[in-house]
Amino acid sequence: MFLLNAFVNLSKIDAIQQKTADTNKVSLLIDMCDQYSIVYDILWALSFNHDIQQQLRSNASFMAKLVYLPKVCDDQQIRKITYGLLWNLDTNHTDRQLSLIDNKENFDIMISYSHKDEIICRRIYEQLVDVGWRVWIDFDQMHGNVMDAMAQAIEQSNTIIICMSEEYRKSNYCRAEANYAFQRGTRIVPILLQEHYHPDGWLLFIVSQFIFVDFTRCEFSQAIEILIKELKAPDISEIRVLSVTSDEEVNEINSFVTMSPEPSPSLVLPKDILNWTQTHVQNWLISNSLLQMSRLFANCDGQSLMYMSEMLENLQLQQVISLLQEDSLRRTSQSLSLVEFTYFRSPLNQQKVCLESGTIPKSSKSKRGKLQIKSFACCHIL
């Protein structure tokens, strides 16, 4: 039983989920369900993995049990877990019929949170209601089929606030909620509630391309003011982070939000990337709409970009992403956007191909030799 309790938390880690799928241990867990009800919670966490979903769906007797169990079980928690499992295993819930939505009840905002953060979320809810918004939040913990109720709340809301904390990331229910909002394309505004917590795993994947408001680095009243400004702003895809530490910064938020760097039209990039200065690199990144990367690589020249290319070839991709994520949080107070990082790799590879094609001036070729990863320190990134 001790091992099962430990595995409850481990099962929420994507790498553990994939390892469980690869070793075909799901059938063993299914056999343990009747004896240890905690296994249902483990299977719910594991069922976010696509391979495990297939393994569970292929077990007809287990699927029949999931459908039957909520009708006869008196344990509210087991019923909630069962509904969660069925939700993850239903491939059609993203195509829910609009007729299922009660159009009479529409909300401006939905607050998605862990119940361990209820106190501050209640304060946020009250502030938003005072502004005049219609806000959906589950204070009483829903009963019945909680997944259908969750889905309907998301479908009827224009914006969802994701209240980030370690407990939120560990919650299967919160993950299902955030995933569904992300899949539907609902506007997402993340807020950070836990000091020193950095989004990771599935949560990082969802929020990395959105702004977040940091409630841990300023007074509550200041953070609320920033949140309200963000909620009132047009729904744009520009990536930025809003956090304040003083009243002066609050007054400057509007100018900060609207300012976006533009490349200098008069600056011509040298054909050889090894001759690029820091200004050249900034101009190139901005012209490719890589605004976050332009901030992260503020001190880099062309040779530093080639060191980065070498790292991407010689190190595991996850290791590079992890290192860049740490540096991004330290240097810009912003989570690394996986989407922008993916876009960044394409033009970087194009520049490397040009460098290796032999079409650059001979005067530059002496710089070309094998770039050593250890030299990347000159970029001050890692």
Give 313-348 pLDDT, tens digit per residue: 888 887 788 888 888 777 766 777 887 888 888 888
- Partners of 99 in beta bridges: none
pLDDT at 123: 96
Is the pTM for the entire model greater than 0.85? Answer: no
Domain positions in the chain are 2-91, 98-258, 273-379
The domain defined by 98-258 folds into Rossmann fold (3.40.50)
Helical H runs in 233-271? 247-251, 253-258
pLDDT at 76: 86
Are the C-beta atoms of residues 18 and 49 closer than 8 Å to each other?
yes
What averages of pLDDT result for each successive group of 10 residues across the chain (382 residues)?
82 89 91 90 93 93 91 87 92 52 74 95 96 89 74 93 96 94 91 91 83 90 93 62 48 38 57 84 82 80 85 81 80 75 84 69 40 37 37
Q: How would you class 102 by CB atoms within 10 Å of its CB: exposed for 0-12, middle for 13-18, buried for 19 or more?
A: exposed
DSSP, residue by residue, 290-356: -HHHHHHTTT--HHHHHHHHHHHHHS-HHHHHHHHHHHHHHHHSS---HHHHHHHHHHHHHHHHHHH
pLDDT at 258: 31
pLDDT at 237: 44
pLDDT at 338: 80
Distance CA 214, CA 216 (A): 5
